[in-house]
Amino acid sequence: MTVWFVVAVPLVMMFFALAMERVENRLRHVAVQEEEVEEFLEQARPNEVRALYGHGIGRALELFRLRRLGGRAAKMRPRKSRG
């Protein structure tokens, strides 16, 4: 009986650790990064702050990212020449 216990406990712990690693990797992609929150707090517009207050950090960061991507897309868009 002791032999089974000595073999089973490390195996169960190993599988549990592997499962938790997979959960952690999924959460890492979903979680909000500290740098994003700092940047948001420094550069947020009033509508983004209202979204933070009313809907939480997820929606506020979504609006913030859309604004940033919109500005970058406009800068990267090729200009038409008038000649």
Q: Are 47 and 63 in contact (CB under 8 A)?
A: yes
Q: Are 61 and 32 in contact (CB under 8 A)?
A: yes
Q: Domain range for residue 65?
A: 46-76
What string of pLDDT tens digits covers the 83 residues of the chain? 888 888 899 999 999 999 999 988 887 776 677 788 888 888 888 888 888 888 888 888 888 888 888 865 545 445 555 54
Q: How far apart are CA 14 and CA 39, in angstroms?
A: 39
Shared-domain flag, residues 4 and 22: yes
Shared-domain flag, residues 54 and 33: no
pTM higher than 0.85, yes or no?
no
Q: Structure tokens of 42?
A: 């420094």
Shared-domain flag, residues 2 and 33: yes
Q: What is the pLDDT of residue 80?
A: 55
Q: Structure tokens of 36?
A: 């994003």
